[in-house]
Amino acid sequence: MPTLAQETPYGATSPLNICCRTGSSLLVAQDTAPGLMRVARLVAAHGDLPRSWRRYGVRARSTTGALRRPQDAATDQDVMLVADGAQSVGRWRLWGQATFGRQREDDVRWRNQSAPSLRSGYVWADSVGGTFRSDRLGLAAALVSPSWRGITVALPVDYGLGQGARREDPRPLYRRRVAELSPSLRWQSGAHQLGAGAIVGWHREDLEIGGGTTTEVPVVFRLRGIATFDRTQLISAERALLGGVVGVQGGYAWRSLKWFVATGATLRLEQDSVRDGIAAPVNGGQTRRVRGDWRLAVRRQSAERGVELDVLAQQETSRGRDPVFAAVNATDEGQRLQVTTQWWQGGVRPLASWMLSVHGAWHTLERRDVAAETRWRVTRLPITMSGGHRWRQADQAWLLEVGVSNDAVSRADREAFRGTRLTPILTDADYAVAAAPAVGGHLMLAWDRVRNGALASRLSLSGAARHTRGMLFDGRRALAAQALTLMVEFY
């Protein structure tokens, strides 16, 4: 899928940097953060949790443009506050993070629930659309035990909750909660680290419509695939989406003075079950996803320069069991292989004077709707090149980063032998965006303050744009999307 997410030397995610599921992954990452343990679930790296570290930040982001999927907002404005830090308590180490986000999505159509619910395949929708306003809160923590004969135990926990609503009838409202535990065990012998862990998660989204006015009896579509649906007029209704995840992960890391090698694999098995009604629940469909990924990250660095290679291979299969057909109707299958190389000189990341990054990927996605005899498949080959320079002036620095991207489409085909009314609206529209080759670019300007050789604060403004010359389903050409992000962080 086309995205405005950036892979840049200064501002991007690295498998060796912090990330968490509750939403702060887009904030500037730090090498000092507890990275390996959580990113890509490279569980062999408990020991990388810093003894003392903290960060506060705020990010404001606005995304707009006609180059968007049919269930995306025309304008997406998001503000997020984040605070996180690590602390040693005796021989134990603790990391925690709290985030709060507020979002406004304008002109959201064909989706009456939160965007993550789209992964379930069973979605309430209407053609009217409107503006969603939502809040979300994320809490994450990780506790790492003291080492005993080289063995440490870690318990990372993620918890997130959010609520969003739309004023336009049928006034959809959702409340979403997510919780995930990923306990892991690490054994260290010299420079070698070996880890294994498990993932157990749960999520639930409660949906309501109605209760608004008596003048509207809106038509609500129940999407059951990329083209299959049924619809009805409803004054009020409730739906619950319940899901769980289990998984296993394993990893290995090796560290020397200059080298750091980590590899890990994760297998996740997820399922969402939808039920309509509360008093007398009715099966609304199930979606089962299996995702496996393998990651290898290699870094060689010194005080003055460094280079990093990050390879990710991912396979994901999703199958939706339809409540009416009592069989699998909606399937997605995707593969991704991506390679990112980064090079920096003149200091350690992210304080280096020069940075260069090349990100290339191959990914393919096939979506099917069996009943509608509809299928589309797209293979894309995006490549992004970025470069940046940082000017130091005593205890402050200016940073400029520029990147260009070319998102080519090597294969795209579609068939719809038993189309429905929603085939042109959803299936074809989504396919057209997915199959649209695009070019893009990004620019980031940042101002850093450095204290005692470490980053003390960063103020950054970045923009990104994508443009396609392809033709969308409705005949529109030359569409674009833009994102603008303002961010402040204190360490």
Partner 1 sequence: MFASSFLRSRIVTRSRPIVATAILGLSAACGDNAVEVQTFVIDVQVTLPTTFAQPAASGARVLLTSTERNVTDTAVADAQGLARFPRVLPGSYIIASSLVLDADRALALTGQRTALTLNALDPARVITTAPTTPFVQRLSGSRLGDLVIKEVYYPASRTPSGGVYFSDQFVEIYNNATDTVFVDGLLIADAFGPAGQINPTTVPTPLQAQAGSVFVTSIWQIPGTGRQRPIAPGQSIVIAQDGIDHRGDANGNPASPVNLATADWETFNERPDGRDLDSPTVPNLTRIVHRGGFDWLLAVFGPGVVIFRTPNVAALDSTLVPGTTGTWVTRVPNEIVVDAFEALQNGNSASYKRVPAALDAGFVFASGTYTSESARRRVSTTIGTRRVLRDSNNSSADFEIIARPTPRGFGTP
Binding site for partner 1 (CB under 8 A): 179, 200-202, 204, 214-215, 217-219, 228-238, 240, 242-248, 269-273, 275, 277-281, 283, 286, 288, 319, 321-322, 324-329, 331, 370-371, 420
Rounded Cα–Cα distance for residues 177 and 159 (Å):
7
To which residue do tokens 């409107």 refer? Answer: 130
Sign of CA dihedral 13, 16, 19, 21: positive
Residue 286: phi, psi to the nearest 5?
Answer: -130, 145
Nearer to partner 1, 150 or 281 (CB): 281
* Beta carbon of residue 59, minimum distance to partner 1 (angstroms, whole number): 30
* Beta carbon of residue 336, minimum distance to partner 1 (angstroms, whole number): 21
Nearer to partner 1, 263 or 331 (CB): 331
* Beta carbon of residue 416, minimum distance to partner 1 (angstroms, whole number): 14
Nearer to partner 1, 35 or 243 (CB): 243
Report whether 401 contacts 391 (CB < 8 A). Answer: no
* Beta carbon of residue 162, minimum distance to partner 1 (angstroms, whole number): 17
DSSP 3-state assignment of 226? coil
Max distance between CA atoms of the chain, in angstroms, equals 72
* Beta carbon of residue 213, minimum distance to partner 1 (angstroms, whole number): 9
Q: Which residues contact 475 (CB under 8 A, 6 or more apart)?
A: none
Nearest to 78 by CA among 62, 98, 58, 57: 62
Neighbours of 108 (CB within 10 A): 23
> What Cα–Cα distance (Å) separates residue 34 from each residue in 248, 253, 369, 423?
20, 14, 42, 45
Nearer to partner 1, 157 or 348 (CB): 157
Report whether 464 contacts 441 (CB < 8 A). Answer: yes
> What Cα–Cα distance (Å) separates residue 13 from each residue in 7, 33, 164, 196?
7, 12, 27, 23
In 17-129, beta strands by DSSP E: 52-65, 75-89, 92-108, 123-125
* Beta carbon of residue 421, minimum distance to partner 1 (angstroms, whole number): 9
* Beta carbon of residue 122, minimum distance to partner 1 (angstroms, whole number): 13
Nearer to partner 1, 275 or 359 (CB): 275
Nearer to partner 1, 267 or 443 (CB): 267
Nearer to partner 1, 245 or 416 (CB): 245
Nearer to partner 1, 202 or 490 (CB): 202
Rounded Cα–Cα distance for residues 318 and 448 (Å):
43
Q: What DSSP state is assigned to residue 426?
A: I
Nearer to partner 1, 234 or 412 (CB): 234
* Beta carbon of residue 423, minimum distance to partner 1 (angstroms, whole number): 12
* Beta carbon of residue 327, minimum distance to partner 1 (angstroms, whole number): 5
The sheet carrying 219-223 orders its strands as: 123-125, 219-223, 229-233
